[in-house]
Amino acid sequence: MAPVEIKKDLYWVGAVDWEIRDFHGYSTKKGTTYNAFLAMDEKVTLFDTVKKPFRSDLLHNLRRVTDPGRIDYLVINHVEMDHSGCLPELVETVRPEKIFCSAMGKKAMVEHFHREDWPYEVVKTGDVIRLGKRSVQFLETRMLHWPDSMFSYIPEDRLLISSDAFGQHWATSERFDDEVESHELFMHAAKYYGNILLLYSALVQKLLQTVQGMGISLDMIAPDHGLIWRSQPQKILEAYDRWSRQDTKRKALVIYDTMWHSTETMAKAILDGLVQEGVSCQLLDLQGTHRSDVMTEALDAKALIFGSATLNNGMLPRMADMLSYMKGLRPVNRIGAAFGSYGWSGEAVKQINNVLEEAKFRMIDPGISVRFVPTHEDLRKCVELGRRIGRAIREEA
Ligand code: FEO
């Protein structure tokens, strides 16, 4: 994809990855982009780079704007390989005068590329450098989502280059938020938040307050993945505020895996009970629903109810995977419950309960285990469990 001038003399020069389908466990069904930005000024400056296999795309784009040898500064907001993988070759080509990064960024680059001799220039929150007619103000954003992460703010352009924050994994030919369908854009942004940043929500809240306290006036937010927010940057800031507060709705997810449809039948009965209480709910079968899509829906769901048959004295493997992934992302203030069928031992429900208790879910029932195939009475109990959860959701959300 050709460079795009996003501000006067400031270009998107990144790469579009149409083919990636897995981003360490996150299903990227529509690909992603690796955004990099080139400021043409007295000091020609490249903000961030791309994943190693896309180094030719980056170099090609740079050459379409200027001779890469003219680049004076690199700003490395984040060292994860999707933004830094091509650095060794790029540094050889560009021979930059300075590489600006956080202290943790320098450490991470040395640990990734084993080059102590690069011209690192460590910056911290509040430091400002001049490029010529514009300046860059740095803001460290530790653990959002790596220790090295930082933002670069260009006040003259009212542009925030936000690294991973506010991104979306979505490969498009368009570069700006107002050029794509808004509902899909926010779905991708929510999926990205729910699968990458959810566990850092308390830090996101602090960061949003810091940005507000700095009194910076934003015209555009340019993340390192996906579309650039130029039409309503405030909208994505408001969404991050909502998501990081972990505000939930009167919504429940019934997430299950089944062997011979007994656990599935129980799931549907629980769903019936939830519907009777006026709760919006979704039935998510892990045989057809990816863990990262469950987390997208979990972002605003008050109750997460998990069901698994028992296999080999434990829960089914897809459920173990789901719970491990979800627990790591740390949703808070949720209601939980477990259910499942079994043949003779029946450990799955207890094991699910243990995970949900460790994750500090509010458990409102010990869960329902049914031997082999549920009877009408068993299903009545499942409906009643759904209704109890529904009433608890209505009281809390
Ligand atoms: Fe897009 Fe944390 O890298």
pLDDT category at 214 given cuts 50, 70, 90 is confident
- pLDDT mean over 309-334: 98
Nearest alpha-carbon partner for 326 in 363, 295, 300: 295
Quote the CA–CA distance of 281 and 9 in Å, as a whole number.
Answer: 49
Active site residue 26: no
Report the pLDDT value the prediction gives residue 264, as an integer from 0 to 100: 98
Give me the catalytic one of 11, 120, 153, 192.
192
Average pLDDT, the chain: 97
Is 24 catalytic? The answer is yes
The 10s digit of each residue's pLDDT in 172-184 is 999 999 999 999 9
Does 294 have pLDDT greater than 80? yes
Asked if pLDDT for residue 143 goes beyond 80, the answer is yes
127 is catalytic: no
pLDDT of residue 29: 97
Q: Which atom of ligand 1 is nearest to the CA of 81?
A: 3
Question: Which atom of ligand 1 is found nearest the CA of 145?
Answer: 2
Residue 141's nearest CA partner among 77, 233, 92, 55 is 77
| pLDDT above 90: percentage of residues in the chain | 97
Residue 215 confidence (pLDDT) above 90: no
User: What span, in angstroms and rounded, lies between the C-alpha atoms of 57 and 74?
Assistant: 17
Q: Give the pLDDT confidence score for residue 362 in this predicted structure.
A: 97
Average pLDDT over residues 257-262: 98
Which residue, judged by its Cα, is nearest atom 3 of ligand 1? 80
Whole-model pTM: value is 0.96
User: So what's the pLDDT on residue 212?
Assistant: 85
Candidate list 225, 257, 297, 342, residue with the active-site label:
225
Residue-level pLDDT at 114: 98
Instruction: Give the residue ranges of DSSP H helices in the chain.
Output: 55-65, 81-84, 87-94, 103-113, 182-192, 201-213, 233-244, 262-276, 291-298, 317-329, 348-358, 376-396
> With contact defined as beta carbons under 8 Å apart, do 346 and 310 qualify?
yes
- What pLDDT is stored for residue 259 in this prediction? 98
Our CA angle for 361, 248, 22, nearest 5°, is 80
Q: How far apart are CA 82 and CA 79, in angstroms?
A: 8
Ligand 1: which residue has its CA nearest to atom 2? Answer: 80
pLDDT over 70 for what percent of the chain? 100
Contacts of 328 (CB under 8 A, 6+ apart): 199
For residues 229 and 218, is the Cβ–Cβ distance under 8 A? no
| Model confidence pLDDT, tens digit, residues 99-113 | 999 999 999 999 999
CA of 291 to the centre of ligand 1 (A): 19
Q: Which residue has the tokens 């270009």?
A: 11
240 is catalytic: no
Please say if 225 is a catalytic residue.
yes
Residue 94: band (very low, low, confident or very high) from pLDDT cuts 50, 70, 90: very high
Q: How far is the CA of 216 from the centre of ligand 1 (A)?
A: 24
Alpha carbons 317 and 323: distance in angstroms, whole number: 10
Closest CA to 174 of 350, 353, 382, 6: 6
280: confidence class by pLDDT, cuts 50, 70, 90 = very high
Ligand 1 atom 1 nearest Cα:
164
The residue-averaged pLDDT of 211-216 equals 84
In the structure, which protein residues have their CB atom closer than 6 angstroms to any atom of ligand 1?
78, 80, 82-83, 145-146, 164, 224-225
Per-residue pLDDT, averaged over 75-90, amounts to: 98
Tokens of 326: 């979800």
What pLDDT is recorded for position 118?
98
Closest CA to 335 of 375, 290, 277: 277
Contact, 250 vs 278, CB < 8 A? yes
Does the bond joining 145 to the residue before it have cis omega, within 30 degrees of 0? yes
144-169 pLDDT, tens digit per residue, is 999 999 999 999 999 999 999 999 99
Q: Which residue has the tokens 């003779």?
A: 344
Note the pLDDT tens digit of each residue in 18-65: 999 999 999 999 999 999 999 999 999 999 999 999 999 999 999 999
**Cβ atoms of 293 and 244 closer than 8 Å:** no
pLDDT band at 282 (very low <50, low <70, confident <90, very high): very high
Cα 365–chain centre separation: 31
Residue pair 393/303 in contact by the 8 Å Cβ criterion = yes
pLDDT band at 216 (very low <50, low <70, confident <90, very high): confident
Average pLDDT over every residue of 269-298: 98
Catalytic residue among 80, 127, 321, 384: 80
